[in-house]
Amino acid sequence: MPKHLSRHTSLLVVSDTAMYQKDNQVVAFEPVVRELEAILPLFTHITWIGFNRPDKIGRFPFKEITSKRIHAILLDYVGGSHPTDKFDIVKNYPIMYRVIDAEIKKHPIIHSRAPSNPAYITMWLSKKYSNKRFWFKYAGNWTQSAPFFYTLQRNKLKRLGSNSVVTVNGRWKHQPSNVIPFDNPCLDEIDRESGKNCIDSKTLEQETNYCFVGGLNENKGILLLLEAFNTLKTKGFKGSLHIIGDGPLREQVQQNVDASFKNIILHGALSKAEVNERYKQCHYLILPSKSEGFPKVISEAMNFGCIPIVSDVSCIDQYIQDGKNGFLIKPLSVPKLQQCLVKTKTITQGAFKKTIEYNYELAGRFTYSHYNERIQQDILNHKTNRSSG
């Protein structure tokens, strides 16, 4: 690995991020576009490999890649749980390998986002190019039980050579020296200023507003939330629930919403700006997930004065302390979630204000400016004593 990596050099990003061609413009999953736009000042240009996913139009928030210094390469999508899907994945590995390998040759720094099939290929290729810097971001739960392919990739990441840095959610004991904790960014200076204004003016009202932001799937716990919320509603619990997101359970969620009164609102997928407006209107974020890394929506919501009601999984308890700056749903169950919801009704205006001010300061760890400082210090200039192996 070169002793000094110039700040003005190129970056290759290898991911399974959803993107598609719109006229002469590439459009991609909005949160990742914003992240790459934020780190672009560190590099001369960025080449970004992702999956062609026009099927996600209307279901994901997308954003145009407007910078001429970000060049997108669209791979044919592979994935799924059906046996034929698995066959297609294996069949496409040689194609993905050739594309990724060709691009690695052109760039001194390679960033890959795991777990994903393109990331797994990049892990193997990192051994081939010992003179390049590889940076793997593992977005899932780093220590707890996970599906087979996730576990396979975690184990592979722990055994990579000294030219590879692995960033994970949270701090964990007894990890290899190249595995380091990293806060995922989601806030810019405009967000921080807007959030501060929101914090200064937000108060508890007679009817409390709650929000869920995430995929409408089993893992995110949306059906558990609806059961808990609707059961409490029949007991006189007052409050509105805003559901933001899309996914395979969309129709079932819609049926639940239609069967309720007017206190549950399904918004579907929204842009970042639209989500921020919902945060400003709400007092609590609810995320009853079965498994997570550290969801960006927690820090986003805290920035705008929403107190987290979240599962006690992965590293979440390293940021959220039950009863201090949020509520941990432990164990993850309808009764426990109901208990947390009921507790929100006992918080005084003074305690609410103190909590959201504390969380706003904590959210400062998730700014893009802080992220760029960490990239320069711990990725571009990271050194380990491990031998390649």
Residue range 94-131, pLDDT digits in tens: 999 999 999 999 999 999 999 999 999 999 999 999 99
Tell me whether strands 25-29 and 9-22 are parallel, antiparallel or unpaired.
antiparallel
Gap between the Cα atoms of 253 and 266, Å rounded? 8
Q: What is the mean pLDDT of the chain?
A: 91
Question: Range with the lowest mean pLDDT among 37-51, 144-158, 252-266?
Answer: 252-266
| Same domain? 108 vs 250 | no
Provide DSSP, 300-360: HHHHTTPEEEEE--TTGGGT--BTTTBEEESS-SHHHHHHHHHHGGG--HHHHHHHHHHHH
pLDDT at 81 exceeding the cut of 80? no
Quick one: pLDDT band at residue 293, thresholds 50, 70, 90?
confident
- pLDDT for the residue 387: 35
Helices 272-281, 30-39: inter-axial angle, 10-degree rounding: 100
Share of the chain above pLDDT 90, in %: 79
- Report pLDDT digits (tens) over 298-342: 999 999 999 999 999 889 999 999 999 999 999 999 999 999 999
- Matching residue, tokens 């004991």: 173
| Same domain? 328 vs 300 | yes
Quick one: pLDDT band at residue 257, thresholds 50, 70, 90?
confident
Question: Range with the lowest mean pLDDT among 6-20, 37-51, 213-227?
Answer: 6-20
Output 108 or 78, whichever has higher pLDDT.
Answer: 108
Quick one: pLDDT band at residue 371, thresholds 50, 70, 90?
very high
| Same domain? 173 vs 198 | no
pLDDT at 148 exceeding the cut of 50? yes
CATH number of the domain that residue 326 is part of: 3.40.50.2000
> Mean pLDDT throughout 60-69?
94
Quick one: pLDDT band at residue 365, thresholds 50, 70, 90?
very high
> Mean pLDDT throughout 200-207?
87
Gap between the Cα atoms of 368 and 38, Å rounded? 6
| Backbone phi and psi for residue 58, each to the nearest 5 degrees, phi listed first | 90, -10
Which domain, by its residues, includes 64? Answer: 9-185+368-380
Gap between the Cα atoms of 18 and 49, Å rounded? 10
- pLDDT for the residue 332: 95
| Same domain? 71 vs 208 | no
pLDDT at 282 exceeding the cut of 50? yes
Structure tokens, 247: 């996914």
How many domains, in total, are found in the chain? 2
| Same domain? 230 vs 302 | yes
Structure tokens, 25: 């413009």
- pLDDT for the residue 366: 97
Gap between the Cα atoms of 59 and 53, Å rounded? 11
Angle at 200 between CA 195 and CA 202, to 5 degrees: 85
Residue 58 within any structural domain of the chain: yes
| Same domain? 100 vs 33 | yes
pLDDT at 153 exceeding the cut of 90? yes
**The dihedral sign for the CA sequence 25, 28, 34, 36:** negative
| Backbone phi and psi for residue 41, each to the nearest 5 degrees, phi listed first | -60, -20
Quick one: pLDDT band at residue 261, thresholds 50, 70, 90?
low
Residue 267 within any structural domain of the chain: yes
pLDDT at 62 exceeding the cut of 60? yes
Residue 324 within any structural domain of the chain: yes
Torsional class of 115: left (φ above 0), alpha (ψ -120 to 50), beta (otherwise): beta
> Mean pLDDT throughout 368-382?
90
> Mean pLDDT throughout 366-372?
96
> Mean pLDDT throughout 244-273?
90
